């Protein structure tokens, strides 16, 4: 089945997620994914370096979007308030394809190797956000601590949203940052 590069990539992503959900991550091969997407295994590897990367597609785009969102927040706010405003501006992107993200999280939660990769992704996001805060004039150590705390709040809100604790992402973020302020004040 022919298609544009974007279409092929989308089919591969969908096939990977479906197969991981049906069979489990460990029992699915790149060849299985390629077959399900109706492409060759070679085509699969033109798009992804390994089967795990199909679950973490878009990481660089998210890093760039978060850095841009931090840069776009008006000056004069504290680092944590800057991050809250930046994350709130990202809600449409964070909620996009919610059902797929929920399915993806179930797959990731079931495989230790994938949970480890997810933590590495969060570390990269933290570094990116810290650099964005530093570009706003926040001192390095403060930027690093604010970024780590902010990404932890974002992750907690994301997991709660995916688990169905609330469909109000903004409220989950606001509560997370309020809890963070309370923890620091104790």
Q: What confidence tens digit (pLDDT) does each residue in 149-174 have?
A: 999 999 999 999 999 999 999 999 99
Which tens digit of pLDDT belongs to each residue from 55-82? 998 889 999 999 999 999 999 999 999 9
What is the number of other CB atoms lying within 10 angstroms of the CB of residue 111? Answer: 17
User: In angstroms, rounded to a whole number, what is the distance separating the alpha carbons of residues 85 and 81?
Assistant: 6
Residues in Cβ contact with 38 at an 8 Å cutoff, skipping those fewer than 6 apart: 1, 11
Which residue segments constitute the domains of the chain, with CATH numbers given?
Answer: 5-54 (1.10.10.60), 59-185 (1.10.357.10)
User: Distance between CA 126 and CA 123 in Å, rounded?
Assistant: 5
The span from the CA of 182 to the CA of 158, in Å, is 20
What does the mean pLDDT of the chain come to?
94
């Amino acid at each position: 089945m022919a298609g544009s590069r974007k279409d092929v990539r989308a089919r591969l992503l969908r096939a990977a997620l479906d197969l991981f959900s049906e069979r489990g991550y460990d029992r699915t091969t790149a060849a299985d994914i390629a077959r399900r997407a109706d492409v060759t295994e070679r085509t699969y590897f033109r798009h992804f370096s390994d089967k795990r990367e199909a679950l973490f597609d878009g990481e660089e785009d998210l890093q760039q979007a978060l850095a841009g969102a931090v840069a776009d927040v008006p000056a004069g706010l504290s680092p944590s308030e800057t991050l809250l405003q930046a994350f709130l501006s990202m809600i449409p992107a964070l909620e996009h394809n919610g059902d797929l993200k929920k399915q993806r999280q179930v797959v990731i939660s079931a495989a230790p190797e994938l949970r480890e990769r997810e933590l590495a992704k969060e570390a990269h996001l933290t570094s990116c956000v810290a650099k964005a805060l530093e570009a706003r004039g926040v001192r390095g150590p403060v930027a690093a601590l604010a970024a780590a705390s902010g990404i932890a709040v974002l992750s907690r809100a994301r997991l709660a949203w995916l688990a169905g604790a609330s469909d109000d992402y903004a409220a989950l973020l606001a509560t997370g940052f309020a809890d963070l302020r309370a923890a620091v004040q104790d």
